[in-house]
A and B are shown apart, each in its own frame.
Chain A
Amino acid sequence: MDVLDLARTQFAVTGSLHFLFVLLTLGLAPLVAIMHTRWARTGLPLHERMTRFWGQIYLINYALGIVTGLVMEFQFGLAWSGLSHYAGDVFGAPLAMETLVAFFLESTFLGLWIFGWGRLPKWAHVACIWMVTATAYGSAFFILTANAFLQNPAGAVLSGGRLELTDFGALLTNDALVYAFPHVLGAGLFTGGMVLVGASAYQLRRRTAEVEFFTRSMKTGVITAAIGITVTVMFGYAQFAVGIQPGKFSGNAAAAVPLGFMVEGGHLFSLIVLFFMLPCIRLLPRWRWAHPLLIALTPLPFVLAVLGWLAREIGRQPWMIWERLTVADALTPGLTSGMVTASLAGFTAVLGLLAVVDYVLIARIIRRGPGDDLSLGAAGERRAPALTY
């Protein structure tokens, strides 16, 4: 592989890894926020335990979202400085908004939510998780704004060999953005819902003592998945109707194949969710024969989401910015194969291992169920002051 292929592989590997975790974050954040709100309203122990259990899973997943995201942010400057040289005045604005405002607030409020348990007033604590959800959606919006600009460079003109921002409104109402954003949010909700369903099916199949807990969780999951898949499919098709990027998939098998699998998978899922899971929502928690199927379905939304990104990004080739800047021209001048090989190996090994650990930890929490060993929101005991020396 030459340096260009290596740098593309590095971005594809870290980007796909990042999105696996972001996808579930986007789906679980609103669900945890709703559970927490219910708990604040009713004060019922069931709602508290649901908030803590699904909140703990949300947070373990979040850890990898952060660390992979750090690598993503810096990778632009490391390997693709041609992009910031040519279009930084335009492309940089949404990226700055994401990091400087949306993620800044998300991280701050997340810290308050995690460690504010038992310290913050009840409704202030609930407000924190809603702020986390809102800013996570804000982050997704600005990242997709930046990506949409690459697909369809609206709102900018060429001046002196560089793109210059002329219309910020056009950046935010880009045809490549307005349908892709709900598509991604829908996919997040669908994935979050299916994780609730799969985890609940696992526990119910094993004849858990927590029948009410996982029956409720499964129902919440089915409803969320139904809403999510409907939104995803609707806005998925809408993207084909806007008529940008002609010929994106016709001559490009590497983009058309993942697209085909994603579309077929999405169809199949909408049939399963809307015509089987949703009508049978009351019976599903008791139908033990169906539980292995539900468990087996859980990883598939993640696969479909990555296929969707592969289609969108490979379809953009050879352009970094559609019909303006090629990927080859965006590569940092002077970058050598040795440099990228070393960083690719480092990022892949470290992030890959951490991702595996993270999924094992999530699986472990699901297997143990909402017992007493959840750290999130555990009652703090006061210890004697440590001995000084």
Chain B
Amino acid sequence: MELLWFALFAVLLAGYFALEGFDLGVGLLLPVLGRTVERRDRMVAAIAPFVLANEVWLVAVAGTLFGVYPMLEGEVLFGLYPLVVAMLLAWVVRDAGLWFRRRVGGPGWRRFWDALIALGSLWLSAGWGMALYGAATGFTSSPMHPVGLLLGVVVTLLFAFHGWTFLGWRDPALTGAARSGRVLALTGAVAALPALGLLAGAMGYLLDHSAPPATLNVLSLMVLPFAPLMVAAQVWVWRTFRPGKGADRIPSFF
């Protein structure tokens, strides 16, 4: 049972990196590839239908952390207190940018929120690299350690590359290079590598600190029946918004 929940936890965290990775990547690329409002609209429209379905993977990671690893939840979040607060604020600002950018017509308004999307994406991507480093050292070393900062740069670059591939898959005119779904899956896997590395290293520790069997049984009984519905809903998102079905159609809500 501990193994099953570890696998689920790993899938959720790696899935977050592979999926939200391209949303953050496209956010990072906004100032680079989106010099005009029209291009930025198209870039945001490309990720828009996926963002809500992607970012929620991290919400699920945190919930699993609380339910399955209650003894570690506080340790992890408190161990990285200033970083977690900063990353939360970055996430909030990025989301607010997406929800607000088209609510008022003026170009200045949209430029402002687009800048916040890019800034929030950058902050959050770099934060992930530092957080992974902090967690890998058991919170004994500051995430601002040069290696932590370097990992922040690496994760940011991986997400940006993944975002670029995503645009090439969904709206190739934006990058000038079409990418297949297979390549997108591959860059997703690469974007998830840092998270998978940490999970592999922490596997034994996590298994030892799982909640007692009674709690895990209840969680399994409550969660597993919904798993097919959750998978189906995610698959439905990808089927509905795959390229060729009006992916180049704007406006979108975001």
Chain A positions within 8 Å of B, measured between CB atoms, are: 59-60, 63, 66-67, 70-71, 73-74, 76-78, 80-82, 84-85, 88-93, 95-101, 103-105, 107-112, 114-116, 119-120, 131, 164-166, 168, 332, 334-335, 339, 342-343, 346-347, 350-351, 354, 357, 361, 364, 373, 375-376, 378, 380-383, 385-386, 388-389
Cα of A255 to Cα of B147 in the assembled complex, Å: 50
The B interface, classified by DSSP as helix, strand, loop or mixed, is helix
A112 and B240 contact, CB distance less than 8 A: yes
**Which residue in chain B gives the minimum CB-CB distance to A344?**
B85
B67-99 toward A: CB 8 Å interface, digit per residue (1/0)? 110110111111001101100110111011001
Complex contact B77–A165 (CB within 8 A):
no
A81 and B66 alpha carbons, distance in the complex (Å): 10
Task: Give the docked Cα–Cα distance between A108 and B49 (Å).
Answer: 9
Q: Given A78-B84, A357-B100: A73 and B70 within 8 A (CB)?
A: no
CB-CB nearest 8 A-B residue pairs: A81-B74, A88-B70, A96-B67, A99-B63, A77-B77, A111-B52, A63-B99, A380-B249
Q: Is B88 touching A164 in the complex (CB atoms < 8 A)?
A: no
How far in angstroms is the closest Cβ of chain A from B236? 6
- Residue among B78, B245, B248, B251 having the largest count of chain A Cβ atoms under 10 Å: B78
**Structural contact, B85 and A342, CB atoms closer than 8 A:** yes
Stretch of B126-134, B152-160, B216-224 at the chain-chain interface: B216-224
A81:B73 contact, CB within 8 angstroms: yes
Alpha-carbon gap, A357 to B93, bound state (A): 13
Q: Measured between alpha carbons, how far is A115 from B54 in the docked complex, in Å?
A: 14
Q: Distance in Å from the Cβ of A327 to the closest Cβ of chain B?
A: 15
Q: A63-B100, A78-B81 are in contact. Are A380 and B89 (CB under 8 A)?
A: no
Using a Cβ cutoff of 8 Å, how many contacts connect chains A and B? 243
A selection of 8 A-B contacts at a CB cut-off of 8 Å is: A78-B77, A88-B70, A92-B66, A99-B66, A354-B92, A386-B39, A386-B173, A388-B174
Chain B: interface size category = 35 or more
Contact indicator A164/B212 (Cβ below 8 Å): yes
Using Cβ atoms and an 8 Å threshold, which residues of chain B touch A335? 78, 81
Stretch of B179-187, B189-197, B200-208, B227-235 contacting A (4+ beta carbons < 8 Å): B227-235
For B91, list chain A residues within 8 Å (CB). Answer: 67, 70
Distance between B128 CB and nearest chain A CB, rounded to angstroms: 14
Q: Chain A residues near B174 (CB, 8 Å)?
A: 386, 388
Q: Nearest CB to that of A336 among chain B residues? A: B81
Which residue in chain B gives the minimum CB-CB distance to A82? B74
Other-chain contact of B64, A81, A100, A388 (Cβ < 8 Å): A100
CB distance from A155 to the nearest CB of B (A): 10
B74 touches A332 (CB 8 A): yes
User: A96-B64, A104-B56, A166-B214 given as contacts; is B233 within 8 A of A381 (CB)?
Assistant: no
Closest to A346 in B: B89
Chain B residues with CB under 8 A of A339: 81-82
B82 A382 Cβ-Cβ under 8 A = no
CB-contact partner of B215 in A85, A90, A383, under 8 A: A90
In the complex with contacts A88-B71, A92-B70, A375-B253, A98-B63 CB distance below 8 A: yes
